[in-house]
Structure 1
Amino acid sequence: MPAQSAPSRPPRQTRRRSYDQYCAAARALDAVGDRWTLLIVRELLAGPRRYTDLHADLPGVSTDMLAGRLKDMESAELVTRRRLPPPASAYVYELTDRGRELLPVLRALAAWGAPALDEPRPTDAVRAHWFAIPLLGALEGLGAKVVQVTLDEGEFHVRAGGDGQGEYGGAAYGDGPAADAEVRLRTDAATCRALVAGELTLAEAVESGRVELQEPTEIHVP
């Protein structure tokens, strides 16, 4: 009696990428609802980034996961990949106009999540520029085009009008100092958390000395 061959395996099913619901919220989540996607958007709102830079500022993401998410985001036309001219000769990822339209979404999420921030957990990574998006409103209220903030953890700056169409190519904020900053502040992460949570206004933080005005030394703080 001839030996029976093993039954063939059914073809592997690919993971569904859609909720298949005729709903605007569902369509949005089809594109940005996967883990890490919106945090990649957060990083790219600071401007074009190399893959290695993204990986460094997204602690916890694996290289395979990051590569996969970036590929998905390219397919969804949220990001593009381009090569920098010599002598850099490196590839960078940057948001498309549609990707930059997610800034209000990140701002709303930051405002909603602020009450849960509390004190940093022992396992929490911290980057100074992660405070930029939740503080955009308060810092834009200073009336300056560019505001630089220095923390013990690093520096970041915000640019008023970073909407994807303006002078700075849509970068709402940037990691590191800004040579063209009109206002420079120094504070700490705890004060940033209090400002984000609404426990403290910027004027109160300046008056109490928790925010130090480095340049100019006097400015009207609403």
Structure 2
Amino acid sequence: MSPRRSYDQYCSAARALDAVGDRWTLLVVRELLAGPRRYTDLHADLPGVSTDVLASRLKDMERDGLATRRRLPPPGAAYVYELTPRGRQLLPVLQALGEWGAPALEERRPTDAVRAHWFALPLLRCLEGEGDGLVHVRLEEGEFFVRVGAGEGPVYGEGPAPAEPDTSLTLDAETCTAVAQGALTLRQAVAERRVEVAGEGTLAKALRGE
């Protein structure tokens, strides 16, 4: 294992960047916020990262107490990586970075990769304060779910919700980006019929203004 690089500064920000400042590390955290992931799944959802770099980042994250590696029981018997409680504490850091970077999401470039679940964290941030619950989201790019108010465990996941959702949202990536940028609130998007809300739970009614 390569020696740990450090800024050698007695500063909490510098110490944090010692652990997560390398290229790709925070994006690996983004993927692991969805729960345990196999190496092959991580590589598929981090287009552009080399196998050597991904392996190195995962080893660094294990060393720094941000992630662990374990073997699934049969019949899976595959190794997965997952965040430790300290790694999960990076959720608000990623959300703050996403909010700061949202204005840079202008027209999608031809070279831009996209995954539906990359919209999960900004949408989760916009749903906070509307009530807790499981939300299923449909975009043209795919579907995912978010757990609003989740105290522990995965905060989002790919595909259909694992249980009956409290509400379902159908919208397009343009609307999701506008909400993330603060150009309109989620309630405004619902009122303008840019978001279709299904469900009769507290969260669904709050978004519809009922």
Same fold (TM over 0.5): yes
Match of 2:93 among 98, 105, 115: 105
Which of structures 1 and 2 has the bigger CA Rg? 1
Question: What is the TM-score of this pair, normalised by structure 2?
Answer: 0.92
In the alignment, structure 2 segments of 5+ residues that lack a partner are: none
Question: What displacement does 1:65 show?
Answer: 0.7
Match of 2:67 among 71, 75, 79: 79
**Structure 1: how far apart are the matches of 2:20 and 2:126?**
27
Contact 2:137–2:170 (Cα < 8 Å) also in 1: yes
Contact 1:83–1:89 (Cα < 8 Å) also in 2: yes
Question: What displacement does 1:111 show?
Answer: 0.6
Contact 1:157–1:177 (Cα < 8 Å) also in 2: yes
Percent identity between the two aligned chains:
68
Residue 156 of structure 1 aligns to a residue in which SS? strand
**Structure 2: how far apart are the matches of 1:147 and 1:37?**
27
Moved over 6 A (4+): none
**Structure 1: how far apart are the matches of 2:151 and 2:172?**
27
More helix by share: 2
**Structure 2: how far apart are the matches of 1:16 and 1:203?**
46
Contact 2:32–2:82 (Cα < 8 Å) also in 1: yes
Question: What displacement does 1:58 show?
Answer: 0.3
Which residue is 2:154 aligned to?
Answer: 171
Aligned residue pairs total 204
Question: What is the TM-score of this pair, normalised by structure 1?
Answer: 0.87
1:112 counterpart letter in structure 2: W
Residue 7 of structure 2 aligns to a residue in which SS? coil
- Structure 1 residues 38-88: Cα deviation after superposition (integer angstroms, max 9, x where no partner): 000000001000001100100000111101110111111100000000000
Residue 70 of structure 2 aligns to a residue in which SS? strand
Question: What displacement does 1:199 show?
Answer: 0.5
Question: What displacement does 1:137 show?
Answer: 2.6
**Cα RMSD between the aligned structures?**
1.6
Which residue is 1:9 aligned to?
Answer: none
Contact 1:50–1:91 (Cα < 8 Å) also in 2: yes
**Structure 2: how far apart are the matches of 1:111 and 1:140?**
14
Match of 1:199 among 160, 183, 193: 183
In the alignment, structure 1 segments of 5+ residues that lack a partner are: 1-13, 165-169
- Structure 1 residues 110-159: Cα deviation after superposition (integer angstroms, max 9, x where no partner): 01001111121110011111111111132234324101110010111111
Residue 220 of structure 1 aligns to a residue in which SS? helix
